Amino acid sequence: MNSRKCLAFEIVANPAAVDALCARAETWLIEGGLGTESFPVAMLLRESLNNSMLHGSGGDPTAQIRCHLQRGRKWLKITVEDDGPGFDWATRLECRADIENCHGRGLEIYRLYADAVDFNRRGNRVSLRRRIAEVMTS
Amino acid sequence: MTTVQVQKNDATVTLEGALTVALAQELRPQLQKAVAEGVSSVVFDLGRADVVDSSGIGLLIATHNSLKTKGGRLRVANASPEIMNLFKAMRLDRHFSVEGRQA
Protein backbone atom coordinates (compact mmCIF):
# COMPACT_ATOMS: atom_id res chain seq x y z
CA MET A 1 0.00 0.00 0.00
CA ASN A 2 1.32 3.47 -0.89
CA SER A 3 1.67 5.36 2.41
CA ARG A 4 1.54 8.69 0.59
CA LYS A 5 -1.89 7.81 -0.75
CA CYS A 6 -3.28 5.86 2.19
CA LEU A 7 -2.98 5.70 5.91
CA ALA A 8 -4.60 2.88 7.88
CA PHE A 9 -4.88 2.50 11.64
CA GLU A 10 -6.50 0.31 14.22
CA ILE A 11 -6.66 1.96 17.62
CA VAL A 12 -8.26 1.34 20.99
CA ALA A 13 -11.19 3.52 21.98
CA ASN A 14 -9.59 6.06 24.28
CA PRO A 15 -8.82 9.80 23.99
CA ALA A 16 -5.03 9.38 24.00
CA ALA A 17 -5.20 7.02 21.03
CA VAL A 18 -7.51 9.44 19.21
CA ASP A 19 -5.08 12.31 19.85
CA ALA A 20 -2.13 10.24 18.60
CA LEU A 21 -3.96 9.23 15.43
CA CYS A 22 -4.98 12.83 14.71
CA ALA A 23 -1.39 13.98 15.17
CA ARG A 24 -0.16 11.28 12.78
CA ALA A 25 -2.81 12.23 10.22
CA GLU A 26 -1.75 15.89 10.41
CA THR A 27 1.87 14.93 9.75
CA TRP A 28 0.74 12.81 6.80
CA LEU A 29 -1.20 15.73 5.33
CA ILE A 30 1.68 18.18 5.76
CA GLU A 31 4.17 15.75 4.25
CA GLY A 32 1.82 15.30 1.31
CA GLY A 33 1.56 19.04 0.66
CA LEU A 34 -1.94 19.25 2.16
CA GLY A 35 -1.17 21.27 5.26
CA THR A 36 -4.04 23.65 4.48
CA GLU A 37 -6.40 20.70 4.95
CA SER A 38 -5.16 20.00 8.47
CA PHE A 39 -7.95 21.81 10.30
CA PRO A 40 -10.98 20.54 8.36
CA VAL A 41 -9.62 17.00 8.21
CA ALA A 42 -8.83 17.06 11.92
CA MET A 43 -12.41 18.20 12.60
CA LEU A 44 -13.88 15.37 10.52
CA LEU A 45 -11.49 12.72 11.74
CA ARG A 46 -11.76 13.64 15.40
CA GLU A 47 -15.54 13.77 15.26
CA SER A 48 -15.77 10.33 13.68
CA LEU A 49 -13.30 8.82 16.12
CA ASN A 50 -15.06 10.43 19.07
CA ASN A 51 -18.39 9.00 17.91
CA SER A 52 -16.86 5.54 17.72
CA MET A 53 -15.17 5.98 21.09
CA LEU A 54 -18.16 7.44 22.93
CA HIS A 55 -21.09 5.69 21.25
CA GLY A 56 -19.83 2.80 19.18
CA SER A 57 -17.60 1.21 21.77
CA GLY A 58 -20.06 1.09 24.64
CA GLY A 59 -17.57 2.63 27.04
CA ASP A 60 -15.10 -0.21 26.56
CA PRO A 61 -11.62 1.41 26.39
CA THR A 62 -10.19 -1.76 24.82
CA ALA A 63 -12.69 -1.79 21.93
CA GLN A 64 -11.14 -1.38 18.51
CA ILE A 65 -11.69 1.42 16.01
CA ARG A 66 -10.48 1.12 12.44
CA CYS A 67 -9.59 4.18 10.43
CA HIS A 68 -8.53 4.65 6.86
CA LEU A 69 -7.44 7.86 5.15
CA GLN A 70 -7.07 7.97 1.42
CA ARG A 71 -6.20 10.75 -0.95
CA GLY A 72 -6.90 11.09 -4.61
CA ARG A 73 -5.94 13.90 -6.95
CA LYS A 74 -8.94 15.99 -6.00
CA TRP A 75 -10.32 14.48 -2.83
CA LEU A 76 -9.61 13.04 0.56
CA LYS A 77 -11.61 10.19 2.01
CA ILE A 78 -11.86 9.32 5.70
CA THR A 79 -13.41 6.03 6.79
CA VAL A 80 -13.96 5.16 10.44
CA GLU A 81 -15.50 1.91 11.64
CA ASP A 82 -16.21 0.35 15.02
CA ASP A 83 -17.89 -2.84 16.19
CA GLY A 84 -20.79 -1.12 17.93
CA PRO A 85 -24.49 -1.39 17.17
CA GLY A 86 -24.34 1.54 14.78
CA PHE A 87 -25.65 5.09 14.49
CA ASP A 88 -29.27 5.65 13.44
CA TRP A 89 -28.19 7.88 10.58
CA ALA A 90 -31.43 7.55 8.63
CA THR A 91 -33.37 9.55 11.23
CA ARG A 92 -30.57 11.71 12.61
CA LEU A 93 -28.55 12.88 9.64
CA GLU A 94 -30.72 15.87 8.78
CA CYS A 95 -31.39 16.92 12.38
CA ARG A 96 -30.23 20.44 13.18
CA ALA A 97 -29.02 21.26 16.67
CA ASP A 98 -30.85 24.06 18.44
CA ILE A 99 -28.42 26.79 19.41
CA GLU A 100 -29.10 26.31 23.15
CA ASN A 101 -28.60 22.54 22.89
CA CYS A 102 -25.11 21.49 23.88
CA HIS A 103 -25.37 18.20 21.93
CA GLY A 104 -25.66 17.40 18.25
CA ARG A 105 -22.76 19.46 16.88
CA GLY A 106 -20.99 16.48 15.34
CA LEU A 107 -23.32 16.26 12.36
CA GLU A 108 -23.02 20.00 11.88
CA ILE A 109 -19.25 19.53 11.66
CA TYR A 110 -19.78 16.87 8.99
CA ARG A 111 -22.01 19.22 7.01
CA LEU A 112 -19.50 22.05 7.29
CA TYR A 113 -16.35 20.20 6.29
CA ALA A 114 -17.35 17.15 4.24
CA ASP A 115 -18.68 17.21 0.69
CA ALA A 116 -20.19 13.74 1.06
CA VAL A 117 -21.19 11.73 4.12
CA ASP A 118 -22.11 8.06 3.87
CA PHE A 119 -22.91 5.44 6.46
CA ASN A 120 -23.20 1.72 5.92
CA ARG A 121 -26.62 0.20 6.57
CA ARG A 122 -25.77 -0.78 10.15
CA GLY A 123 -24.38 2.69 10.89
CA ASN A 124 -21.10 1.53 12.41
CA ARG A 125 -18.98 2.78 9.50
CA VAL A 126 -18.87 6.35 8.23
CA SER A 127 -17.16 7.51 5.06
CA LEU A 128 -16.46 11.19 4.56
CA ARG A 129 -15.25 12.68 1.34
CA ARG A 130 -13.76 16.15 1.01
CA ARG A 131 -12.73 17.92 -2.17
CA ILE A 132 -9.21 19.34 -2.16
CA ALA A 133 -7.18 21.53 -4.44
CA GLU A 134 -5.05 19.43 -6.74
CA VAL A 135 -1.50 19.11 -5.46
CA MET A 136 1.38 18.50 -7.83
CA THR A 137 3.51 15.69 -6.45
CA SER A 138 6.85 14.49 -7.68
CA MET B 1 -1.26 23.00 30.55
CA THR B 2 -4.86 24.17 30.75
CA THR B 3 -5.68 26.25 33.82
CA VAL B 4 -8.84 27.59 35.44
CA GLN B 5 -8.42 30.73 37.51
CA VAL B 6 -11.26 32.11 39.60
CA GLN B 7 -11.17 35.59 41.11
CA LYS B 8 -14.35 36.72 42.82
CA ASN B 9 -17.04 36.55 40.12
CA ASP B 10 -14.71 36.02 37.16
CA ALA B 11 -13.25 32.79 35.86
CA THR B 12 -10.64 32.48 33.13
CA VAL B 13 -9.98 29.17 31.39
CA THR B 14 -6.64 29.31 29.61
CA LEU B 15 -6.45 26.48 27.15
CA GLU B 16 -3.35 24.79 25.89
CA GLY B 17 -3.54 22.55 22.84
CA ALA B 18 -7.04 21.26 22.35
CA LEU B 19 -10.54 21.72 23.72
CA THR B 20 -11.66 18.19 23.03
CA VAL B 21 -13.67 15.45 24.66
CA ALA B 22 -11.36 14.48 27.54
CA LEU B 23 -10.73 18.05 28.63
CA ALA B 24 -14.37 19.03 28.17
CA GLN B 25 -15.41 16.21 30.51
CA GLU B 26 -12.84 17.39 33.05
CA LEU B 27 -13.77 21.08 32.89
CA ARG B 28 -17.55 20.70 32.90
CA PRO B 29 -17.99 19.94 36.65
CA GLN B 30 -15.40 22.58 37.60
CA LEU B 31 -17.25 25.27 35.68
CA GLN B 32 -20.67 24.13 36.89
CA LYS B 33 -19.39 24.40 40.46
CA ALA B 34 -17.85 27.82 39.84
CA VAL B 35 -21.10 29.19 38.37
CA ALA B 36 -23.13 27.66 41.21
CA GLU B 37 -20.82 29.42 43.66
CA GLY B 38 -21.35 32.84 42.08
CA VAL B 39 -19.07 33.19 39.07
CA SER B 40 -20.93 35.34 36.52
CA SER B 41 -18.25 35.86 33.88
CA VAL B 42 -16.24 33.12 32.19
CA VAL B 43 -13.55 33.75 29.62
CA PHE B 44 -12.14 30.94 27.50
CA ASP B 45 -8.74 32.04 26.24
CA LEU B 46 -7.99 30.01 23.10
CA GLY B 47 -4.73 31.80 22.38
CA ARG B 48 -2.80 28.55 22.61
CA ALA B 49 -5.54 26.20 21.44
CA ASP B 50 -5.83 25.17 17.82
CA VAL B 51 -8.31 22.32 18.04
CA VAL B 52 -11.87 22.13 19.27
CA ASP B 53 -14.36 19.31 18.80
CA SER B 54 -18.10 18.95 19.30
CA SER B 55 -17.60 18.11 22.98
CA GLY B 56 -15.63 21.32 23.43
CA ILE B 57 -18.34 23.27 21.66
CA GLY B 58 -20.90 21.53 23.87
CA LEU B 59 -18.97 22.70 26.94
CA LEU B 60 -19.02 26.31 25.72
CA ILE B 61 -22.77 26.17 25.09
CA ALA B 62 -23.47 24.48 28.43
CA THR B 63 -21.41 27.14 30.22
CA HIS B 64 -23.16 29.91 28.29
CA ASN B 65 -26.56 28.42 29.23
CA SER B 66 -25.61 28.19 32.92
CA LEU B 67 -24.34 31.76 32.99
CA LYS B 68 -27.34 33.10 31.10
CA THR B 69 -29.78 31.85 33.74
CA LYS B 70 -27.82 33.89 36.30
CA GLY B 71 -27.45 37.02 34.20
CA GLY B 72 -23.79 36.27 33.50
CA ARG B 73 -21.85 36.02 30.28
CA LEU B 74 -19.36 33.90 28.40
CA ARG B 75 -16.57 35.28 26.26
CA VAL B 76 -14.23 33.36 23.95
CA ALA B 77 -10.97 35.20 23.34
CA ASN B 78 -8.02 34.76 20.99
CA ALA B 79 -9.64 32.17 18.75
CA SER B 80 -7.61 31.09 15.72
CA PRO B 81 -8.99 32.09 12.29
CA GLU B 82 -10.14 28.50 11.68
CA ILE B 83 -11.97 28.32 15.00
CA MET B 84 -13.48 31.78 14.39
CA ASN B 85 -14.84 30.54 11.06
CA LEU B 86 -16.21 27.39 12.68
CA PHE B 87 -17.98 29.32 15.44
CA LYS B 88 -19.42 31.81 12.97
CA ALA B 89 -20.64 29.01 10.70
CA MET B 90 -22.38 27.51 13.72
CA ARG B 91 -23.73 30.96 14.62
CA LEU B 92 -22.25 30.69 18.11
CA ASP B 93 -21.02 34.27 17.85
CA ARG B 94 -24.64 35.41 17.97
CA HIS B 95 -25.07 33.96 21.43
CA PHE B 96 -21.81 34.74 23.17
CA SER B 97 -18.85 36.93 22.46
CA VAL B 98 -16.19 35.38 20.22
CA GLU B 99 -13.00 37.32 19.53
CA GLY B 100 -10.17 36.32 17.25
CA ARG B 101 -6.44 36.60 17.75
CA GLN B 102 -4.72 39.88 17.13
CA ALA B 103 -2.69 39.93 13.92
Q: In this structure, which CATH number among 3.30.565.10, 3.40.50.360, 3.90.1750.10, 3.40.640.10 belongs to the domain A6-131?
A: 3.30.565.10
User: Predicted confidence band at B102 (pLDDT cuts at 50, 70, 90)?
Assistant: confident
Record: contact B59-A108, CB cut-off 8 A = no
pLDDT per position as a tens digit, A46-90: 999 999 999 998 888 899 999 999 999 999 999 999 999 888 877
What pLDDT sits at residue A91? 77
What residues does B41 pair with on adjacent strands?
Answer: B10, B73
DSSP letter for A36, please.
Answer: G
Instruction: Give the residue extent of every domain in chain A.
Output: 6-131
Contact assignment for A99 to B94 by CB distance below 8 Å: yes
For B30-86, write each residue's pLDDT tens digit.
Answer: 999 999 999 999 999 999 999 999 999 999 999 999 999 999 999 999 999 999 999
Confidence of residue A136 (pLDDT cuts 50, 70, 90): low
- Please compute the mean of the pLDDT values over residues A32-41 and round it to a whole number: 95
- Cβ-based contacts under 8 A for chains A and B: 53
Q: What is the mean pLDDT of residues A118-133?
A: 95
Local confidence band at A135 (pLDDT 50, 70, 90 cut-offs): low
Say which residues have a Cβ less than 8 Å from residue A121's Cβ, sequence separation at least 6: none
Contact A22, A44 (CB under 8 A): no
Test B21 with A15 for CB contact under 8 angstroms. yes
Report the number of distinct structural domains present in chain B.
Answer: 1
Instruction: Say what the pLDDT of residue A103 is.
Output: 74
Confidence check: pLDDT of A1 > 70: no
Does A115 have pLDDT greater than 70?
yes
CATH of the domain at B11: 3.30.750.24
pLDDT digits (tens, 9 = 90+) for B9-33: 999 999 998 999 999 999 999 999 9
Q: Once rounded to an integer, what is the mean pLDDT over residues A20-31?
A: 95
* pLDDT beyond 90 at B1: no
The mean pLDDT value of chain A amounts to 90
For B40, the domain range is 3-100
Predicted pLDDT of residue B74 = 97
Which residues in chain B have Cβ-Cβ distances shorter than 8 Å to A46?
A: 20, 51, 53
Listed in sequence order, the residues at least 6 apart from B101 whose beta carbon sits closer than 8 Å to its beta carbon are: B47, B78, B79, B80, B81
Closest CA to A48 of A26, A70, A69, A72: A69
Q: What's the confidence (pLDDT) of residue B49?
A: 95
User: Does B22 lie at the interface with A, CB-CB under 8 angstroms?
Assistant: yes
Query: Is the minimum CB–CB distance between B26 and chain A shorter than 8 Å?
Result: no
pLDDT digits (tens, 9 = 90+) for A94-108: 777 676 776 778 889
Q: What is the 3-state secondary structure (H, E, C) of chain B?
A: CCEEEEECCEEEEEEEEEECHHHHHHHHHHHHHHHHCCCCEEEEEEEEEEEECHHHHHHHHHHHHHHHCCCCEEEEEEECHHHHHHHHHCCHHHCCEEEECCC
Evaluate whether A45 touches A103 at the Cβ level (below 8 Å): no
